[in-house]
């Protein structure tokens, strides 16, 4: 996320919020600042302890700052919101030899 944010230190994320979609609700842009409201369709959380399913809508107001020619997230500092498809692809590509996954494929 560093290329997308203005934060000097990225928090040590230990999980992500799993989403099925999003909608941009509103945008307000000035010369070097913007506020973008996004409605996320949350379906769960993923962490080292596993997946917790929870259906809800989450409205997040992102404050952006123009840095050079790029808009970057200035706040809020919240954990990444990732689609279930992207999360699954990431896990499968980074753990191709996982014993549980291999035994499941043999069934």
pLDDT tens digits, 15-74: 889 999 999 999 999 999 999 999 999 999 988 888 889 999 999 999 999 999 999 999
Cα 44 to Cα 15, 38, 74, 78, 79: the distances in Å are 11, 17, 25, 15, 13
Residue 15: per-residue pLDDT? 85
Q: What is the pLDDT of residue 102?
A: 47
Q: What is the residue extent of each domain of the chain?
A: 2-106
Exposed e or buried b for every residue in 69-84, given b needs 16+ CB within 10 A?
A: eebbbbeeeeeebbee
Of 55-59, 75-79, 95-99, the range with the lowest mean pLDDT is 95-99
DSSP 85: H
Q: Where are the beta strands (DSSP E) in the chain?
A: 15-29, 33-47, 50-67, 70-75, 81-83
Taking 60 as the threshold, does the pLDDT of residue 103 lie above it? no
């Amino acid at each position: 996320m560093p290329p997308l944010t203005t934060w000097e230190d990225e928090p040590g994320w230990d999980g992500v919020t799993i989403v099925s979609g999003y909608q941009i609700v509103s945008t307000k842009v000035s010369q070097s600042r913007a506020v973008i409201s996004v409605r996320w369709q949350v379906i769960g959380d993923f962490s080292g302890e596993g997946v917790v399913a929870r259906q809800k809508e989450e409205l997040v107001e992102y404050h952006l700052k123009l840095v050079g020619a790029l808009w970057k997230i200035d706040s809020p500092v919240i954990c990444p919101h990732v689609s279930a498809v992207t999360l699954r692809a990431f896990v499968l590509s980074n753990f191709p030899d996982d014993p549980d996954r291999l035994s499941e494929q043999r069934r």
